[in-house]
Structure 1
Amino acid sequence: MRIISAITLLLTFTLHAQDINKLSEAHIEKNGVQILQDFRTLLSIPNVAFDLPNINKNAAYIKAELEKRGVESKLLRMVGTPPIVYGYYPVKGAKRTIAFYVHYDGQPVDKKKWTTDPWQPTYYSKALFDGGEQLDFPSSFDQIDEEHRIYARSAGDDKAPIITILTALDMIQSNKLKVTSNLVFFFEGQEEAGSRQLQQYLNDNRALVDEIDLWLFCDGPVHQSRRPQLVFGVRGVTGMEITTYGPNRPLHSGHYGNWAPVPGQLLADLIASMKDKDGNVIIDGFYDDIEPLSDLEKEALSNIPLIDEQLKAELGINNPEGTESYNERLLRPSLTIRGLSSGNTGKLARNVVPATATAAIGMRLVKGCDPEKQKDLVEAHIRSQGFYIVREDPDQETRMKYSKIAKVTRSSGYPAARTSMDLPIIQDVIKRSKDVAGEDLLLLPTLGGSLPLYLFTDELKKPAIILPIANHDNNQHAADENLRIGNLWYGVKLMSALMTMDK
């Protein structure tokens, strides 16, 4: 689909970073009302990955918006799967190609938990939890305050970067500036559903991605201190479910209590054996494969503000796990009990010894940890606690042979990824981002969350950076998701600066 003749924009004068910032700010002031209306339109299209009719509407809308700005665009399709919106913006004489990755799908919603309809974007004076009041969408720029917020599903995760990218292109074109890199736009429609076909999309379209020199992942929030950040890695993710067994049917707790083994107690004891009193994982070998930070990464980590006291007050936590700081804990693999189930509670509680108990365990991995090996280590620990592991519910013969049985159902997962800060192209991005954010910019070696970044860093062998723009309190994945307007404007300035980065 690529044309031989490259798209060229006229360069009217040599641009310094401050010029780009001023031009971006002027463009925002002139077009801010329309930018918010365009954002509102995009947010109004439901975008749950399994809702293919609406997902396709999102993809068609984004493709059309790219084409309006001269971007060669098409939808990469697989049967029954959300399409990739692919765009290519060639620049004559460019010596590098930069790709912007965004996902346009969002988490499912439970409308009953939302203050307003998640598919009808609503404008507020400030955050709801801070007493924000609903306002009409502004009709003039002087009605817009950076503390205002838009509430809608995917306002923060992850449609905001799409609007900032489109607006940056508008600003560059309206001022007849020069884009300095070939640009690729790669917008995924099933990230929130696990990116199950992403690797296949990349494999099937290698000709479209092989020339890319750097991937910029536009996702996630700025730092909890509200300072902007660049992130150079993500944690991997995997997990399992563990089921323990008591009697082969629920029993009356009066007749059989104190005699029949209680599966909830067996499971509680097993889970408790996995961590010490400080919350550190004590499974043999769990921390052994952590890849150490480089000197540059250690220096960057030392400059990240400590936010433990702020987070404790914000989240109502008196005694967090571990003895290290929040920032340091992100550099260790974690083991989290995501859910527990056995019998019933409240009004549904019955006087029974339940037949089974189940725990869902999630693990976040850091660079160096292999997902399958981490699960093997957990299974070895389960065996060390006297359990016989099965993959299906045990039959009568197995029940009679072993005193403690655990069914382990392993989840899929992927490894962590991290890009070196030392690479010249990475240093270019850091410098250009500081032109926008100033010395407030934080360099974070690893984000706490997970993305399939390894497909790009390990499979495609290309560096990747995460460019977060959303406010840290955006209720990502939850009810009342929102975006602070000041963060949207920051995203516009950042995208504009990176598109015009020095050659």
Structure 2
Amino acid sequence: MKKVLLSFLLLQSTAIFSQSKLNEQVRNYRKANEYALLNEFKGLLSIPNVVYDTVGIQKTASYIVKMMEDRGIKTTLLDAKTKGVPPAIYGEVLVPNATQTVIFYAHYDGQPVNPNQWAEGIAPFKSVFLDASLEKGGKIIPDPQPTDTINPEWRIYGRSASDDKAGVFSILSAYQVLNKLEIKPTVNLKFFFEGEEEAGSTHLSEILEKHKDKLKSDLWIICDGPVHQSGKKQIVFGVRGDIGMEIKVFASKRPLHSGHYGNWAPNPANLLVKLLASMKDDNGKVLIKGFYDDVVPFTDLEKKALAKVPAVDDQMKQELGFVRPEGGGKTLAELINLPSLNINGISSANVGKMVANVIPTSATAALDLRLVLGNDAQRQAQKVIDHIKSQGYYVTQNESITDEERLKYPLIARVVLGKGYNAQRTKMDLPIAQIVIKAVQTTVSDEVVLMPSLGGSLPLFLFEKHLGTPTITVPIANHDNNQHAENENIRIQNIWNGIETYVALMRLE
């Protein structure tokens, strides 16, 4: 027995030493090649990749294909059945004697941009370096030169710097490092970079179904989203689902002088804000009937993991500048694991220099429903529609409102639904999940945060639905990266950490 125990301990210490040595080799390679790595990344950031920009998406895909081919990765494009859909970029590296296959996922499309909202000197597709974040007084600095020392606290600003070109880059750079160090991965590697995620992955099902034989694997590892707000690395076992909806409330057929008709003609802006206010209480709890009824409760293991998540509520209130959060005393970690209803935007007539003394004809709100395991996207949206009806509204989906409808119904709302998708959650006690936890933990001394589900959304349930394969998300971006907004950025140290993380994930044992 003593000999067996001694042998086990020896193997463990050898494995720790081996991983420690690998980490050191990866860091040494990165330090010697930082300029070249960041120069390639800046080239990727310079290409417009707004999801609806067909030309930009094609150019981005071509750049990534070249990155993969330069690394010796056998690459092809996976199309959907529907014509004109951005292709998924696929690559594979088969390793002799490997018994498991892992697919690494990131997306290469980005959110729309309004350049006028970005800080002076920062353009969405002309990435620049800053010596710190804008919120901490960061200033634009010259691009580093080959002989310069690169400060890991610098930031790179540009659209998709964090979401999700950093994911694509970190995955491919991790493979590049292994290649240059002549170290073999321990698993077969497959790469899948999607080009339509920011549009709701509308055709992802078609791509997965059409190419399911090529996409066989034991696990999908997803690189998207931020590390924990504490700065610690985190592993995420689930994501929320999402469905968007637009509500437009109608009043008079033409704009009216607010003096001549105020107090008499209905004001659609007033009607809309009253309708929206009826959906949530003062603590942010959604009041729509049955909104929380379908939620699948956490397992004991998931509850224990959630209880160990570092508390960051006070930090984030200070950072974001508000004193009273929603949630009635629940923590941020608890609340992102519940379904939510958020107002993304409201529009009715004009404000500022364009304001006019009118009663507008309509008012529109864009809503975002985040879903957790158990919610169905269409069913959850229908609960909101039923609530609107319960407030006395006639609900239609038609583009125009007829005179007959206007004279028959005192309250009229048009509701248009987005496509939407459901939430997904992988069991934390799966053997392969434990292997992933072990691999990421080898790259840091602090305990890795294990999060049952991420607050953000990805269509990961589709991988289970079409391929029967579990997914685990291992994010790399800094939490204050401004993804989806103006002044998106990535902290350079997060890129370096991401490369180390993904090297470890290509060496699963």
Structure 2 length normalisation: TM-score? 0.91
Residue 177 of structure 1 corresponds to 183
Which of 10, 16, 19 is residue 17 of structure 1 equivalent to?
19
Q: Against the structure 1 CA distance between its residues 229 and 248, is the aligned structure 2 distance closer, same or farther, given a 3 Å change threshold?
A: same
Q: 1:189, CA displacement in angstroms?
A: 1.7
Residue 500 of structure 2 corresponds to 493
CA distance in 1, matches of 2:67, 2:269: 54
Residue 7 of structure 1 corresponds to none
Residue 306 (structure 2) pairs with residue 301 (structure 1): yes
CA RMSD of aligned residues (A): 2.0
Residue 422 of structure 1 corresponds to 429
Residue 241 of structure 1 corresponds to 246
Amino acid at match of 2:447: D
Residue 345 of structure 2 corresponds to 339
Residue 39 of structure 1 corresponds to 41
Q: Against the structure 1 CA distance between its residues 266 and 73, is the aligned structure 2 distance closer, same or farther, given a 3 Å change threshold?
A: same
Q: 1:422, CA displacement in angstroms?
A: 1.0
| Partner deviation per Cα, 1:93-136 (whole Å, 9 max, x = no partner) | 11111000011122233333333233233222222322223333
| Partner deviation per Cα, 1:159-202 (whole Å, 9 max, x = no partner) | 12222223222322233222111100001122223222211111
Q: Against the structure 1 CA distance between its residues 38 and 271, is the aligned structure 2 distance closer, same or farther, given a 3 Å change threshold?
A: same
Residue 229 of structure 1 corresponds to 234
Amino acid at match of 2:110: G
Percent identical pairs in the alignment equals: 48
Residue 163 of structure 2 corresponds to 157
CA distance in 1, matches of 2:454, 2:410: 42
Matches within 5 A, 1:51-200: 51-78=53-80, 79-114=83-118, 115-139=121-145, 143-200=149-206
Q: Against the structure 1 CA distance between its residues 400 and 137, is the aligned structure 2 distance closer, same or farther, given a 3 Å change threshold?
A: closer
Residue 445 of structure 1 corresponds to 452
Instruction: Find the residue that maps to 1:438 and give its secondary structure.
Output: coil
Contact 2:208 2:463 in 1 (8 A): no
Deviates more, 1:272-281 or 1:397-406: 397-406
Instruction: Find the residue that maps to 1:437 and give its secondary structure.
Output: coil
Q: 1:442, CA displacement in angstroms?
A: 0.5
Contact 2:242 2:420 in 1 (8 A): yes
Contact 2:90 2:192 in 1 (8 A): yes
Deviates more, 1:340-349 or 1:414-423: 340-349
Matches within 5 A, 1:238-317: 238-317=243-322
CA distance in 2, matches of 1:348, 1:151: 32
Instruction: Find the residue that maps to 2:252 and give its secondary structure.
Output: coil
Contact 1:118 1:152 in 2 (8 A): yes
Residue 222 of structure 2 corresponds to 217
CA distance in 2, matches of 1:130, 1:235: 31
Q: 1:385, CA displacement in angstroms?
A: 1.5
Structure 1 length normalisation: TM-score? 0.92
Q: Against the structure 1 CA distance between its residues 340 and 440, is the aligned structure 2 distance closer, same or farther, given a 3 Å change threshold?
A: same
| Partner deviation per Cα, 1:344-381 (whole Å, 9 max, x = no partner) | 33343333333322222211111111111111111221
Residue 390 of structure 1 corresponds to 396
Contact 1:98 1:182 in 2 (8 A): yes
CA distance in 2, matches of 1:111, 1:390: 35
| Partner deviation per Cα, 1:436-476 (whole Å, 9 max, x = no partner) | 13333101111111111111133322110111111111121
Q: Against the structure 1 CA distance between its residues 275 and 118, is the aligned structure 2 distance closer, same or farther, given a 3 Å change threshold?
A: closer
Amino acid at match of 1:62: I
CA distance in 1, matches of 2:354, 2:63: 48
Q: 1:140, CA displacement in angstroms?
A: 5.2
Which of 484, 492, 503 is residue 491 of structure 2 equivalent to?
484
Residue 5 of structure 2 corresponds to none
Contact 1:229 1:444 in 2 (8 A): yes
Instruction: Find the residue that maps to 1:436 and give its secondary structure.
Output: coil
Matches within 5 A, 1:451-466: 451-466=458-473
Amino acid at match of 1:342: S
CA distance in 2, matches of 1:64, 1:348: 48
Amino acid at match of 2:451: L
Deviates more, 1:302-311 or 1:52-61: 52-61
Residue 400 of structure 1 corresponds to 407
| Partner deviation per Cα, 1:131-151 (whole Å, 9 max, x = no partner) | 223333334577122111222
CA distance in 2, matches of 1:199, 1:241: 24
Deviates more, 1:148-157 or 1:13-22: 13-22
CA distance in 1, matches of 2:146, 2:407: 76
Q: 1:239, CA displacement in angstroms?
A: 2.7
CA distance in 1, matches of 2:117, 2:263: 41
Amino acid at match of 1:301: L
Q: 1:21, CA displacement in angstroms?
A: 0.9
| Partner deviation per Cα, 1:235-294 (whole Å, 9 max, x = no partner) | 111132222232333333333322222222222222111111211001110000011111
Q: Against the structure 1 CA distance between its residues 157 and 141, is the aligned structure 2 distance closer, same or farther, given a 3 Å change threshold?
A: farther
CA distance in 2, matches of 1:128, 1:261: 44
Amino acid at match of 1:104: Y
Contact 2:292 2:339 in 1 (8 A): yes
What residue ranges of structure 1 are gaps of 5+ in the alignment? 1-12
